Structure 1
């Protein structure tokens, strides 16, 4: 009987606990104690075409209409959480830059350390360490939003985000990155 009651109580309280944890994560993001790392919005396909060139969007996978709407909803969600003018960094890939721009939150700064690691297996660990050092070297106190790719997020956190999904990560980034919240595509 006691076990059943404890299990019932845990299941009943879990949504409130999860909501409180997410509320705390948003506060940490607003205060610059955390960052949001977002997988670019929906761009059909996997990897990059053989003729891929970073300076030519016509050679890349790009956002479809669903992806553009997802990115715009991210902008709405961030503003609803009082994250209105974050420092916004993006991979140089068009689908990531377009995700950041469609959010409508201000200037986007391309950051090569956020470029896709899909075709660079041998450099994943090294580049992820460089990214952690670069992020930890940024001044704190302002919201920070990063737009990148699944493989980069998985290498950094061990988690596999779907298109348009975000993670709020505690700062500074440690070797074992602390995920404060997992935010589904809005």
Structure 2
């Protein structure tokens, strides 16, 4: 039983490495859209006194999250994955992830990437606006969108970990996950 468990873990590691290499190959070619879940920010939700304009009232990156963001950016640049633009949520944990990881790329806030609204109609509009931006992208470099777990789950139907990236494949039918990248 122990040998079977070890064999399974080794196969899983090989499969993960192959999936990661496939993702980097896509990104090196450019023209991809990448959804990035912000780096590690302990806890869940935001405090009752939340103010979008005041980082002190939000859940923020931990030191581990800052290191994770630095590693993310270093890998993108080391793997020669060209970045044309980075769009980010206005939340501090997402903005900080974008600023730390992609500091050498143009970064803009995009309100639709904010944490999904509690009002279903507003959340649907955020998803529509994000999907439209994804589907309209035609650049030769990669578009990186730093956002939140719920947003990525609503768009790509996968639940990413903090600091995980999802490379999307686009078609007339919508989007699907082409690859996933972890930065641990």
TM-aligned CA deviation for residue 105 of structure 1: 3.3
TM-aligned CA deviation for residue 130 of structure 1: 1.8
Which residue pairs with 1:46 in the alignment?
A: 44
Contact 1:32 1:142 in 2 (8 A): yes
Which residue pairs with 2:31 in the alignment?
A: 33
Aligned length: 175
Bigger Cα Rg:
1
Secondary structure of the equivalent of 1:76? helix
Q: Give me the whole-angstrom Cα distance separating, in 2, the residues matched to 1:173 and 1:143.
A: 19
- CA RMSD in angstroms, aligned pairs only: 2.4
Q: Give me the whole-angstrom Cα distance separating, in 2, the residues matched to 1:121 and 1:114.
A: 15
Higher strand share: 2
Q: Give me the whole-angstrom Cα distance separating, in 2, the residues matched to 1:89 and 1:144.
A: 8
Structure 2: where are the runs of 5+ without partners?
A: 1-8
Which residue pairs with 1:134 in the alignment?
A: 133
Q: Give me the whole-angstrom Cα distance separating, in 1, the residues matched to 2:31 and 2:173.
A: 13
Please report the TM-score for the alignment, with normalisation by the length of structure 2: 0.82
Query: What does 1:134-173 correspond to in 2, within 5 Å?
Result: 134-172=133-171
Structure 1: where are the runs of 5+ without partners?
A: 1-10
Q: Give me the whole-angstrom Cα distance separating, in 1, the residues matched to 2:38 and 2:143.
A: 16
TM-aligned CA deviation for residue 40 of structure 1: 0.3
Which residue pairs with 1:74 in the alignment?
A: 72
TM-aligned CA deviation for residue 120 of structure 1: 3.7
Please report the TM-score for the alignment, with normalisation by the length of structure 1: 0.82
TM-aligned CA deviation for residue 168 of structure 1: 1.0
Which residue pairs with 1:178 in the alignment?
A: 176
Secondary structure of the equivalent of 1:171? strand
Secondary structure of the equivalent of 1:89? strand
